[in-house]
Structure 1
Amino acid sequence: MTAAPLEALPLDLLRERGSAKWRTYPRDVLPLFVAETDYPLAPAITAALHGAVERGDTGYTPGESGVRSAYAAFAGRRFGWRPDPTRMRSTGDVIMGVVEILRRTISPGDRVVVTPPVYPPFYEAVPEAGGVVERVPLVEGAGDYRLDLDGIERAFAGGARALLLCNPHNPTGTVHTREELAALAEIAARHDAVVVSDEIHAPLTRTDIVFTPFLAASAASAALGYALVSASKAFNLAGLKCALMVAAAPETAAVLRGMPEEIEWRTGYFGAIAAVAAFDPESDPWLDSLLAAIEANAVLLDDLLAEHLPGARYRRPEAGYLAWVDLTAQGWGDNPAKRILTEARVALHYGPAFGDEGRGHVRINLGCSPDVLREAVERIAALR
C-alpha cells in the first residue's frame, strides 16, 4: 500500500524557524537551497526530545547511546543489510567522520579522488585531512550519471590513495548499482586504495530503486571500505549533530577503534536521542510518507519545467530531495542561481559550487510544499 504524502508546514510557520534555511535571506525570498526540509518531525522524534527536555536530560552523550544498534536494525529493514554495531563509532556529523577516517588512511599530500559534480564540502574535507583533491567527473549518459570506473582506475594507478564516494550521489540523485560498487572495490583493491562512502541520503532512496550500501556490495568492498551514515538528512536533524562511522572488516574496525575518545564525544546527545527514535520501526511510516511527498514533488518539477522552462534539462533523482537542473539553455551564465536570487527572489544552490561540471546548473530543494515549488518555478520562468 502506497503511503500518503507528508504535508509540509505552512510558510508563515516555517518563517518562524531560526535555522540557516530561514535566516540566510530576507523574508521575500523562497529558500530552496540548503538541504533542510519543511515537514514536521516524525512524532517519535518529537516525543523523545520533549521527554528529554522535561527530564532535564541535557548532559553528556553516553558511550552506549543506542544509536549503533538502532541503525543496524534500520539498515536491516530498509536495505537488507545488518552491519555489526561493534564496528561503528559515532561523531558529530558525516564530514567530521570523513575527515577523521581520511586522516588515518592516507598520508599528507596523498591524492583523494572525488567524482564531481559533488557535494561542495568534499573539496574542503580532503585538504583538512591532509590530502589533495583529484577530480574524476561522473560520466553523463543519455539518461543518467555513472561513475567513470576507467578514470578512477587511472587515478589509482597514478598514485591516488583513496576515493571519497557519494552514495547516493549529491547533487545528481544517482544511486550507484551493486555491480558498479563491486567493480569500484575491485579497482581499489588492485591498487591498495581505500573507499570512504558518504551514505547520508540512503534512507531517501525511491521505493522503486534498490540502494546498495558500499560495504555490502562485495567481499572486497567490505574489506577496504568505510561508510558514514546519519539520520540527519532524511529526518531533518542536522542541527543535533550525530553520525556514525561504519566498518565491516576487523582491520577497518580497528582503525575506528583506534580513534581518540574525543571524536566520539563530539556526538550531540540530542542528536543521539533523535537518531534512535528516527531509526526505530515506529518512524518507518513517517519516512514512507516523506518519500511519497518527495516523489510527488519530483514529478511535479518535471511538469513545471516542461510548462514554464522547456529548455531546462532535469532527471528525476533516484534518491534524495535535491534536484539537479541544467539551465544552460536559458543563457543566464555559469551561475544562474545568482540572477534567480536577485531578480526572482528564489534561493537555489549555486551549481559551480559542486565543481566545474556545475556551470549553468542549479540545485533545487524538493523538500517543500507543492505550492512553494510551483511558485518558485513560476517566479524563475518570469525572468525569460
Structure 2
Amino acid sequence: MTGDTDNPLRALTLAQLRRRTSMKWRTYPEDVLPLWVAEMDVPLAGPVVRAVTEAMERGDTGYPSGTAYAEALAGFAGERWRWDGLAVERTAIVPDVMLGVVEMLKLVTGPGDPVIVNPPVYPPFYAFVTHLDRRVTEAPLGPDLRLDLAALEDVFRRCARGGGRAAYLLCSPHNPTGTVHTAGELTAVAALAERYGVRVVADEIHAPLVTPGVRFVPYLSVPGAERGLSLMSASKGWNLAGLKAALAVAGPGAAADLARMPEEVGHGPSHVGVLAHTAALRDGTAWLDALLAGLDDNRRLLTALLAERLPGVVHRAGEATFLAWLDCRALGLGDDPAETFLGRGRVAVNSGLPFGTGGAGHVRLNLGTAPEVIEEAVRRMAAVLS
C-alpha cells in the first residue's frame, strides 16, 4: 500500500492487477493490455479502505441511511469548485449515475419524448435512454469537440415544435473527449433550455477528475439553471464503480420534481458504497490530487508517444477524465480501428462506433494506468501499421 500522496498509477504491477476479477481484467486473455472500460489501475485511497474495513468489522452492511454522503459532497464542492449552492435537502441517493439519470428522466419526460445528447458521447446514454422508451436526438459536438450552441439551439427548437417534454442529457465533463464546459457555455445552455422548455439532466460523474489549473463548473451553479438536475458520484474519481452509490442533486426550481422520485429508489445504493464514497469526498483529497498529477503526466506522455510512433493519430488532450479520444481515420484501418488494435496489436481500447455520430474511425483509450503500460500499448498499436 502506497501513501496517499504517492502517484497511485505507479503503485501496482501488471501481475498484481491481473489478480483482479472485474470486467476490465477478465474480458480478454492475459496477452491483451486492457485499456478500455473506465476502471483505473490504482490501489484505493487509504480513507476509503479504512471506512470499508471498519464497516466490515462492525457488521455494518445493512441499508443506507442519512445525509452524510450529501454533506461530504457539499463540502467537497465548496472547497474544490467554490460552489456553496449544493443544498443537502435537495439531494437523494440513487444506485449509480446512469440509474439516477433514468430516474431523473422519468420525472421530466414521458414515453416517446426526445432526449438530446452531444455525440460522440458515452454509449450507455443511447442504451439507457432507448430502454426507457425515450427517443435519442443528437446535437453533435463541434469540430473543436466543444458544445456547438447553434446546433444545440436548432435541436431544442425542433424538439419544442414537436410537442411532448424534451430533456437534454448533458455530459459534463464530457466523456470521451475530456472537454470541460465553461461557465459561459453552461450559462448559454441554461438560457436555451429555459427558452425552449427543455429540462437539463447533467451527468457530472467525472467532475473530480479535472486537470490541475482547469476549473470545473457545476451546471446547477450557473445563472438560469434553477430547474436543472444533476447526478454526481465519487465513483470515477476514486475508482469505486464496484461500490454502488451516487447522488441526485436538484436546483431550487427542480426540488418538487426530485421530491416525486419514488422512495424505493433510495434502497438501491449499497450502504457500504455510501460509506466509501463519503470517506473519499471527505478525507480522500490528498489521494485525488496525487492521481490528478499522475494523469496529467500520462496525458503528456501519450501526446509525445503518439507524435513519435503514430503521427497519423489526431489527439486533443482532454482537460478532464482519465480517457483519451483518438482520431485514427488517417491510419487506413476503417471505421473500427479498435478491432485491428485488439486482433493484431493485443491492445483493448473502446471502439468509437457506439459513441454515436463522430465516432467512426476513433477509439477511446484509458489513461488510468502506469506510464509503462501506455508506452507498451502505443508500441503495439504502432506495430499494427508496420
Residue in 2 that maps onto 1:340: 341
Counterpart AA for 2:173: P
1:208: how far off? 1.4
1:217: how far off? 1.4
Tell me which stretches of 4 or more aligned residues in structure 1 moved more than 2 Å.
Answer: 3-8, 127-130
- Output the TM-score relative to the length of structure 2: 0.95
**Residue correspondence of structure 1 range 131-280 to structure 2 within 5 A:** 131-141=134-144, 145-160=145-160, 161-218=166-223, 220-221=224-225, 223-249=226-252, 251-280=253-282
- CA distance in 2 between counterparts of 1:68 and 1:305 reads 41
Q: How many residues align?
A: 374
1:80: how far off? 0.7
Query: Is 1:74 the counterpart of 2:76 in the alignment?
Result: yes
- CA distance in 2 between counterparts of 1:315 and 1:362 reads 13
**Residue correspondence of structure 1 range 339-378 to structure 2 within 5 A:** 339-378=340-379
Contact 1:168/1:199, CA 8 A, preserved across alignment:
yes
1:153-180 C-alpha deviation (Å, 9 max, x unpaired): 1112112511100000000000000000
Residue in 2 that maps onto 1:41: 44
Residue in 1 that maps onto 2:95: 92
Correspondent of 2:109 among 91, 106, 109? 106
1:66: how far off? 1.0
Identity of aligned residues (%): 49
- CA distance in 2 between counterparts of 1:129 and 1:80 reads 35
- CA distance in 2 between counterparts of 1:134 and 1:59 reads 40
Residue in 1 that maps onto 2:163: none
Contact 2:199/2:227, CA 8 A, preserved across alignment:
yes
Contact 1:65/1:273, CA 8 A, preserved across alignment:
no
1:152: how far off? 1.5
1:4: how far off? 5.5
1:270-305 C-alpha deviation (Å, 9 max, x unpaired): 11010110011x311100000001000000000110
- CA distance in 1 between counterparts of 2:353 and 2:326 reads 12
- CA distance in 2 between counterparts of 1:168 and 1:108 reads 28
Counterpart AA for 2:294: A
1:94: how far off? 0.5
Residue in 2 that maps onto 1:53: 56
1:214-253 C-alpha deviation (Å, 9 max, x unpaired): 00011x11x221110000001010111100000121x411
**Residue correspondence of structure 1 range 242-321 to structure 2 within 5 A:** 242-249=245-252, 251-280=253-282, 282-321=283-322
1:67-123 C-alpha deviation (Å, 9 max, x unpaired): 011111011111111200110001111010111111110122111110000000000
Query: Is 1:19 the counterpart of 2:22 in the alignment?
Result: yes
Contact 2:6/2:287, CA 8 A, preserved across alignment:
no
1:176-229 C-alpha deviation (Å, 9 max, x unpaired): 0000000011011011110110000010001111110000011x11x2211100
1:65: how far off? 4.9
* RMSD (Å), alpha carbons: 1.1
Contact 1:103/1:130, CA 8 A, preserved across alignment:
no
- CA distance in 2 between counterparts of 1:4 and 1:179 reads 35
Where do 5+ consecutive residues of structure 2 fail to align?
A: 161-165
1:356: how far off? 2.9
Where do 5+ consecutive residues of structure 1 fail to align?
A: none
Contact 1:65/1:272, CA 8 A, preserved across alignment:
no
- CA distance in 2 between counterparts of 1:328 and 1:5 reads 34
- CA distance in 2 between counterparts of 1:111 and 1:258 reads 21
Contact 2:117/2:137, CA 8 A, preserved across alignment:
yes
- Output the TM-score relative to the length of structure 1: 0.95
Give the SS at the match of 1:235: coil
Give the SS at the match of 1:227: strand
Counterpart AA for 1:207: P
